[in-house]
Structure 1
Amino acid sequence: MIQGDDTPDMDKGLNQRQLIHLMYALFAVGILSAGIFGAAVLAAVVLAYLKRGDMVGTVYAGHIDWIIRTFWWGLLWLALSALGSLIFVGFITGLVAVVWIIYRVAKGWLAHWAGETPLPGL
């Protein structure tokens, strides 16, 4: 047996930059499909949590945090909007929440394309 045969090939799989693109793409598919492919959003967030430790100290760490915060805040606002729809206000706040989520995904993805970290805020 040649030494090193059992070590994994580091060139296999996606690199960190490609993983971030994949996470944004999955999130976008889930949102733009009006929730039909909601599992894609969950997959993006699970992937973000799984790869969070690997990306600490890199330019991609900010994107991981951005994706995770977008998911949890978006879920909170959509849940509150669902409750608000019982008094006919939730439809408006739900629309605002969806627009905010789309904005965050677009802003983060564009920052990633530019090689930057998304700036905190909104």
Structure 2
Amino acid sequence: MSETDFTAFEGKKPEDRTIMHVLYGMHTFAPFTYWVLAIIAMVVNYVRRSDEFDAIYVSHHNYMISTFWWSLLWLLVTAPLYLLFFFPGMVAHAIVGLWYLYRCVRGWLRFTDGRPPY
């Protein structure tokens, strides 16, 4: 019979919760920093997710990662609208930006309540 390493099942530390709040904050303010904060937060999301064992934390990392990639996809898909006129592209990118902010705030609030993002 194999032995179980119970140190791997320790409870979450306050630092882990703080890091998640910082990541959500970085994602939320990323549109105002030309997405630099989102790229930094994505790297941390990928690194932290690989070491995570708590299902709630993993789901929030996945949520932030998927929000970023879907937003990037929709920004690229709607970019040709700028070729028609400036206004349609601007409206499309504003909608994507608002959706991104909505997802970040919603996920952050659900994390604060200790619930999964979905």
- The reply on whether 1:52 has 2:72 as its aligned counterpart is no
Aligned to 2:24: 24
Q: Does 1:63 align with 2:50?
A: no
RMSD of equivalent CA atoms = 1.8
Counterparts of 2:22 and 2:106 in 1: how far apart (Å)? 15
CA offset digits 1:29-71 (Å, max 9, x no partner) = 212x262xx2211111110001111224431111000000010
TM-score (norm 2): 0.79
Q: How does 1:1-122 map to 2 (within 5 A)?
A: 15-31=15-31, 33=32, 35=34, 38-88=35-85, 89-119=88-118
Task: State the identity as a percent.
Answer: 30
Q: How many pairs align?
A: 104
1:83–1:34 distance in 2 versus 1, CA, 3 Å: farther
More helix by share: 2
Give the TM-score normalised by structure 1. 0.77
Unaligned runs of 5+ in 1: 1-12
Following TM superposition, where does structure 1 have runs of at least 4 consecutive aligned residues deviating by more than 3 angstroms? none
Structure 2 gaps of 5+ residues are 1-12
2-structure distance, mates of 1:30, 1:48? 14
